Structure 1
Amino acid sequence: MKEMNCETGEVLQRKMRCSTLTEKYNALPASRQEERAALLKDILGSCGDQVLIKSPFYCTDGIHIHVGSSCVANFGCVFQDAEEIRIGDRCLIGPYTCIYTVNHDLDACRRAQKMIRALPVTIGDDVWIGGNCVILPGVTIGDRAVIGAGSIVTHDIPPGTLWAGNPARKLRDLE
């Protein structure tokens, strides 16, 4: 777990850079695909080929997000990336899905000091996450898993399984 003050100069500069770039990205029409792809590579830590992230898209730092090839994230996604978010190849992420790596401290004094705790999120290859899902800090979703629309994922998901609900519960094996 990484603990940090979310309002240091370095963190604020990184967030401002990301905010400026995502505003430009979201303002570009979908028809300007080459410009959007180039801008996405500037926003993200790394980005594979044939990645489509529909606008509007929001992230906090950008540089901690690593997306594999042939991925699609539908419109309205929010990635809070104070820590790494790794998304494998051929993933589908539904509209309005949020991936969080950060939590505020439970202690009111530490919250007042702007202290946060961050854990990475890892999403394997060939994962499908339905619309309006929430992925919480520290979660790993295994290869070929499917997360049903509206789910809140609070813990690790094994490969090749179907999960849904709040909190997400295993419905069945897919393999």
Structure 2
Amino acid sequence: MDHPGGWNVKTQWLDYVLSTVLLTVLSALALGLAGLGSFWLTRPLLGPYFPIADLALALLGFGLGAALAGHIVIRRSGLGPGDYAMDSPVFTAWKLYTVSYEFGCSALRPFTSMFARPLVAKLFGATVGRDIALGGTLVDAHLIRIGDEAIIGQGSVVTAHAIVSGRIILKPVEIRRGATVGVNAVVMPGVIVGERAIVAGGSVVAMDTVIPPDELWGGAPARRIKSLASGSA
């Protein structure tokens, strides 16, 4: 398993066992749902076209089951903000949550238009406001809060974790009301993007950066470029 920034993440045999068990259970539940749907609904209604509907039911069941599994992992493990060693139970739980999140989002992708992406993020624990545009990727969705009318640009990454010196750091990220994260930008753990602030496309906002409201920031690492408030320089 790799860190979003490209660093290698230590994987142990237990991770493979837990991930295999999780994916096997989710697959069995999804196939069971598809089988029931085929018997009671899709085959009688759709005739020879029922396999298409059965596949859709299986993917939907897998995705929703993965979201439920992710919430269970969070609640049972205490997967919250902190600084954890690679051999800690929390790190193991984080990897299991990540597997459920990535496979679950992949299963739901056929049903996920641009307008449905905020709903999928909510399913996996993100706090999402009204009328947002979500074109980028959320990593560690349960630690991310996005305010009303915010924009997460295409190809951008908002992540609430970082791997530093052999440890994993988890910190909440907040994109406040009306803020914009530009195309291909990266927002790191602990960042707060203030109301109506803009992160320029391609920028990297370093960990724990606080961007005040109504400011334009850009670069790698991102720095203040100018104020966006009327009458300010």
TM-score norm. by structure 1 comes to: 0.70
Larger % of helix: which?
2
CA–CA distance in 2 between the matches of 1:82 and 1:160? 25
Identity %: 27
- The corresponding residue for 2:143 is 84
Please, which of 21, 24, 34 is the counterpart of residue 104 of structure 2?
21
CA–CA distance in 1 between the matches of 2:94 and 2:199? 32
- The corresponding residue for 1:156 is 210
- Are the equivalent residues in 1 in contact too, given 2:98–2:140 (CA < 8 A)? no
CA–CA distance in 1 between the matches of 2:94 and 2:223? 35
Deviation at 1:7, TM superposition (A): 4.8
Deviation at 1:13, TM superposition (A): 4.1
How big is each residue's C-alpha offset from its partner over 1:90-130, in whole Å with a ceiling of 9 and x where there is no partner? 01111110112111131xxxx3xxx4111111111001111
Larger % of strand: which?
1
How big is each residue's C-alpha offset from its partner over 1:17-75, in whole Å with a ceiling of 9 and x where there is no partner? 323320122223639x7xx47xx64x43x47xxxxxxxxxxxxxx32x2111100112x
- Give the unaligned 5+ runs of structure 2: 1-80
Deviation at 1:83, TM superposition (A): 6.0
Q: Does 1:167 align with 2:221?
A: yes
CA–CA distance in 1 between the matches of 2:189 and 2:212? 16
The structure with the larger Rg is: 2
- The corresponding residue for 2:199 is 147
CA–CA distance in 1 between the matches of 2:176 and 2:98? 26
- Give the unaligned 5+ runs of structure 1: 48-61
CA RMSD of aligned residues (A): 2.5
CA–CA distance in 2 between the matches of 1:29 and 1:143? 27
SS of 1:132's equivalent?
A: coil
CA–CA distance in 2 between the matches of 1:17 and 1:97? 21
Please, which of 96, 116, 119 is the counterpart of residue 171 of structure 2?
119
CA–CA distance in 1 between the matches of 2:98 and 2:219? 32
- Are the equivalent residues in 2 in contact too, given 1:83–1:102 (CA < 8 A)? no
* Matched residues, number: 143
